[in-house]
Amino acid sequence: MLRFRPPAFPLSILRKVFTIQTQQRYLISCFASASYIGPGSNPLFKQRQQLREPLSQFTSTTTSFSTLAAIDIMPTSEFPINGLLPKEETQAASFIRKNPTFDGRGTVVAILDTGIDPGSPGMQVTSDGKPKLIDIIDCTGAGDVACSKIIEAEAGSSEDGKAVHKLLGLSGKTLILSASLTNPTGKFRLGLKHQIDLFPAGVHARLQKEKKKRFQTENNLLVTKVLRDLDTLEANSSIDKDEKELLKQDHKTRLEVLKELEKNWRDDAVIDCVVFHDGKTWRALVDTAGSGDLTEKKPLANYREELQYEQWDQESMLNYSVNIYDEGEILSIVTTCGPHGNHVAGIAAANYPEEPALNGVAPGAQLISLRIGNGRLGGMETGCGLVRAAIDLARLKPDLANISYGEASATPNHGRFVQLIRDEVVNAAPGCIVIAAAGNAGAALSTNGTPGATCNSIIGVGAYATREMMRAQYALLDQVPDIPHTWTSRGPASDGDIGVEIFAPGSAITTVPQSNLARSQLMNGTSMASPNFCGCASLLVSALKAEGVPYNPYRVKSAFRNSGKDVGDEANVPFVQVEKAWAHMTAFPDLQALNVNYDVKVTSGGKLGRGIYLRDIDETTEPQTSQVDVSPRFYNQDAPETNDQRIALDVRLTLRPSESWISSPEHVLFHNPGRGFAVRVDPTGLKPGAHHGRVDAFDTSNMDAGPIFSVPVTVCKLDGVPSARNSAETTPTPSFLSWRRLRFQPGQIRRQFVAVPVGASFAQLTVKSANRDSPARFIVHTMQLGKQTRRSVFEQQYGIELSRNGSAGADEQASTHTKLFRVLPYVTMEICLAQFWSSLGDSEVDVEVEFHGVNVAISSGNQSPAGFTNGSDLTLVNQAGGFARLDYWSALRTETVSASASLDTLRRYVRPSSYVVSALKSRDELPSARQLHQIVLTYTFAVAKGTGPVNVTPRVPRFNDLVYDNPIDSFELIIYDGNKKELQYADVYAKTVKVADGATYTVRVRLASTDTDLLEKLNATVLVIDQALAKPITLAAYQTLDAVVAEDSSLSFKKKTALPRGARTVAWLALDNVAVPKDAKPGDVLIGDLGVLGDRTVEGGLYKFGLVVAPLKAEKDATAAAATDKSEENEDEEKLIKEAVRDLEIQWIKKIKDDSARKTLVDRLVKEWPEHLPLHETILNQLGESAEKEEEKLVTAAAGKEKNDVQLPTETLASIETAAQRILTLVDEKLLRQDIGSRAPTDAADHLPPRTAAVKRATAKHNADIDVRKSAVVAAHGWLAWVKTRGNDGTQDPVPHLEALAVYIPSPPTKNPTYLVPWATHVASKGLHGAALKATGTWLAEGGNAGDRRWAAVTRIRAKSLASVGWEGWSERDRVRTIVDRPAEFSLF
């Protein structure tokens, strides 16, 4: 609807004006106060004069508008509203007009996507008044909340005196519930959820901006208050000068702290959840406001039970619902993770009672939302979500399901999800028609995605653009004919199956979630085509149900395929036509052969497939004969009643090739279990390019029904022998091809198929604009198909803009785009160019492709190896050999080569430290009561101190990059820090996360399957961790082996070495003195790129080089030698044994769980070794750490209570003090400080005279003794300072011990928590909260400190200081951040 703001005309004049414009179908385009479209920009401007005379009679009516006749009035047509969501082209609209009750009513459509917002426009009711959305399920687990803690509520009263229930939530807040809640057991389950996990990324980003604005205002007020306090302090003359200086400095420090807090602000909102059973069903309360007051919240039941949902708040406009599983153990808070799913649902079935023109295709259909987009991955689907969605489809039994998701796969029609959809959803009664997007990866062939266009049981839909869509949605200056979208994926599948089966409109403007703050949105893609077709299928099923016409998914698929409109597609893909499909269904109601799915298996040249696909040079240069075996798959085939259908299937088929170059038998008698026949394809006479055909099998008794099945045939005929690049050359070479003046119209696609020469390793593709004055968008797409390999591995796709400036003859001014990329030798490559349909005007383009062959054999031997590696390989060489040999061969032309290696990644291999196999629960139970099980593998790895923050990428190669074709049901990986905080969630696509150095991390991997034996076999699965190096390691290259050994730089390999065609050369890489990083262990691998092309860069790199880390070189440890040199010390063996036993028993002091057994051991050791400092230090640390744990328990128990100050028992503190004083009694600190100050170096320095071995050993022994004494004294003073800060009477003074620590630990307190905890406690007690906040904040910000046992103590010190300075907002944020950063348990998968 066009909207404008009219001026203050008298109503009588307005009525007459509008009458005139209505009669003449003109619209006022502007008034005096508005700008208007001028004659140079709109041809309709000329017609405004036609309206000036009728309007001139009003010019004297008002002085304000005396120039009304000059107002520009522009003619217009009706807005093409039908093009917003196309229905006319598919016959859907006319079908409903003729059959108003066949509008989808009676059907249920499941949408597997990012979720549907129950409050969004068009999602309220169906056309016949039923609820539109009947179930909402999050299959991903992203919204799961563990509710394992069970408590009983305390009776209380609200501020207005009403009776309430009170609970202490897991966030630490007191939750207030209405006393009117029905809960017969009186027990409540508590949960806690990080809010960010529930919000779509776009909504979260919008809210963060608003929250940050409010926060900055609050923080500015705090800054102002500190400045005023500072002024007050300055003016106060009653304070001691030294004390004033300390306080002034502390206030300045507070300003620094506030600045740092603002810089590092983040939203850590957590949500308390309460789950309970009301005697009939489970219900949940979610504290979306974060206030703790739930008295006005209506408890939500599972959405399907009561169709209830709530809005999070007015600011977010995010709606949510809940589902509760496993007797209340798991609460699933269901939101959308993006607008995509809502848009898809709107296309399929939106209903607008007040404006039916905006309806979806099937407004009468009801919907089920199955969210498979995981918000933790930005909406990416996971195996867990897909399998659960398949389980829900089998359980809920909808009539249709739409999947506007997909990925490339290595093997078509394969994988766990594909199997479940086929066997449990489509082929099991009552039979669900599953429809999926074909993908947006075109324009090259074989770009169809999984599952949509690679799976037999799913109907794959491509995207089409019609003129009406172009008018309404794209605002083009001109129109082009109806055409498939340029980017829509094309078939065939890599195994020859047709792939894309039907076209549907591939864009729409329709409903989006309310949280998008918009009513509708334009989206395009096969994601939009699929629900449009799904809506069409819903209309057909609605009619079939209403008329009692029997059907199954196979029959419906056949009807659409055989009745679609021929749009001239190169692969004969039709455009959906609803009325014709209905006619097909009703014309052949008893044709049994159409109720069966036919599985086609083709054997050709040792290859197995589902169609005939001739692509490589050997296949397309001579006739090929393939064996075709077709077997029937009966609907609900495991049911006993299907046996009658098996017996009855007896079809007399006639086989009809669609093309003259295809031959097949004329007739075949087909029956169960199937028949085979041969098909001959003769490609020898075909022109270069893509050729599509098929062998159609017709039932001779019902030829008009169309093919019963088809065998697709695709031939990619190669361009001829490449021409020589230089016209002066007489001998053609296969390494260069060119195509000149290729003409393109909008939407036109040109394909060239090239035989990549033997020996080629990379190609250079150049595209030039030959004749164009304005920019035009093109897709450039190259494709090679590798066996059991995702197409993306050898695919290059990029968009370019071609234009031209200057005269027609100025070739140098033509826009040129060049790419270098890897190729597979002797594998056909498609070079595809496509002008976007929306880029108007014709184009002429020049294309060149030049193949290069720089082949390298990499070995650790000193003799030439037998073969060469391909550029896609990772070649490993062991560092222990000291060198790597590189043998070069230029296969196609003279090349400039170089030799270098840059290693930028450390690849580490980790075995699991533990694993657990267990049964999953209710959501993961397959039909027939088959239960999914899981194995959870736990790994740990550490990053060495001093490396700085590093990027790590954990992965499991055997499952990575496999989504739909994964053999197991689910793969998930989560990495945690030492506090159990989740740092990164990942699925089959490895994710990189930055971690701090000096810390240990945990990785948990979950694999799910029904096969427990398989899971047990996976219990030692290796985790691979790729750790980025702070600085790449560069390997030097030499011309000879002798030069490597001598490291003779004069014989370095030249940076640019010319290598003629057929010539060979050798380079040598020096490996012996490579400085491996700290974290590297023998067997790990240093990985990087092998540079062989000089300055040229190949997309994705050409050769990957891996260096296996050798065993570390032996380094003489003087300290260890001093301790173990028996010949010099003459220590007897008996004494050594006693000391070894003592040291082992000391290690067990902390490990023993029984206190009495520990006391017995300690008493005996003290008696036997009364002056052994390591023993006394261990005893002290055990006592202190036990006290810390006890204090932590007391703090936890006191949480939420009015008085939460805790005090350790006096005897506990006394025992620590006694143990510490014992150490100080044994050590002469004055002598220790002298020894530390005069400590001699272990190894001889340059300025010292040489020392004998005996002197070195003595020095090392003395230094070791200093270290032992220092460690014990630091522990003693640290624990004494800790004890002194535990008293509440103010009589304890930790300062002497803090001063001692400052001597022994010269670094700041933030570098050592033993020093930090008592220091910060002390300075805070003196009112220096700025210093305490700065120190604790600095320590907590160091990611490497996560997991330190004193982490909680540091956060408590910080919390007290924040409360003391009155920064309530920051105090609450810090409290919540502590919950987020140190969860009680690992997060759920």
Q: Give me the active site residues, please.
A: 113, 340, 527
Q: C-alpha angle 1291/1295/1299, rounded to 5°?
A: 165
Report the DSSP pairing between strands 366-371 and 133-138.
parallel
Question: How far, in Å, are 535, 585, 586, 644 from residue 591 at the CA level?
Answer: 25, 10, 10, 15
The number of beta carbons lying within 10 Å of the beta carbon of residue 1042 is 11
Phi, then psi, of 146 in degrees rounded to 5? -75, 125
Report the C-alpha dihedral over residues 1022, 1026, 1029, 1030, rounded to 10 degrees: -120
Residue 157: its H or E element: strand 154-157
CB within 8 Å of 520: residues ≥ 6 apart:
84, 121, 346, 358, 509, 510, 511, 512
Residue 1267: its H or E element: helix 1253-1284
With 0-12 / 13-18 / 19 or more C-beta atoms within 10 angstroms meaning exposed / middle / buried, residue 221 is exposed
- Comparing C-alpha atoms, which of 199, 192, 217 is closest to residue 316? 199
Q: C-alpha angle 35/32/36, rounded to 5°?
A: 25
Q: C-alpha angle 950/955/956, rounded to 5°?
A: 155
- Comparing C-alpha atoms, which of 465, 466, 442 is closest to residue 453? 442
Q: What 8-state DSSP symbol labels residue 31?
A: -
Q: C-alpha angle 628/631/635, rounded to 5°?
A: 150
DSSP 11-28: HHHHHHHHHHHHHHTEEE
- Comparing C-alpha atoms, which of 507, 358, 250, 583 is closest to residue 1365? 250
Long-range CB contact pairs, 1288-1297, < 8 A, 24+: 1288/1205, 1288/1207, 1294/1318, 1294/1321, 1294/1322, 1295/1322
* Cα distance between residue 1284 and residue 1298, in whole Å: 10
* Cα distance between residue 404 and residue 508, in whole Å: 14
**Residue listed under structure tokens 């055990």:** 1182
Cβ atoms of 472 and 448 within 8 Å: the answer is: no
* Cα distance between residue 1092 and residue 1103, in whole Å: 8
Helix (H, G, I), strand (E, B) or coil at 1049: helix
* Cα distance between residue 694 and residue 611, in whole Å: 9
Helix (H, G, I), strand (E, B) or coil at 926: strand
* Cα atoms in the Cβ-side hemisphere of radius 13 Å centred on 1371: 14
First to last CA, the chain: 47
Q: What 8-state DSSP symbol labels residue 128?
A: T
Cβ atoms of 970 and 924 within 8 Å: the answer is: no
Cβ atoms of 779 and 834 within 8 Å: the answer is: yes
- Comparing C-alpha atoms, which of 285, 288, 94 is closest to residue 180? 285
Per-residue three-class SS string for 1128-1184: HHCCCHHHHHHHHHHHHHHHCCCCCCCHHHHHHHHHHHHHHCCCCHHHHHHHHHHHH
Question: How far, in Å, are 182, 282, 323, 644 from residue 279 at the CA level?
Answer: 8, 8, 17, 49
The number of beta carbons lying within 10 Å of the beta carbon of residue 644 is 9
DSSP 278-312: -SSSEEEEE-TTSSSB-TTPPPB-BHHHH---EES
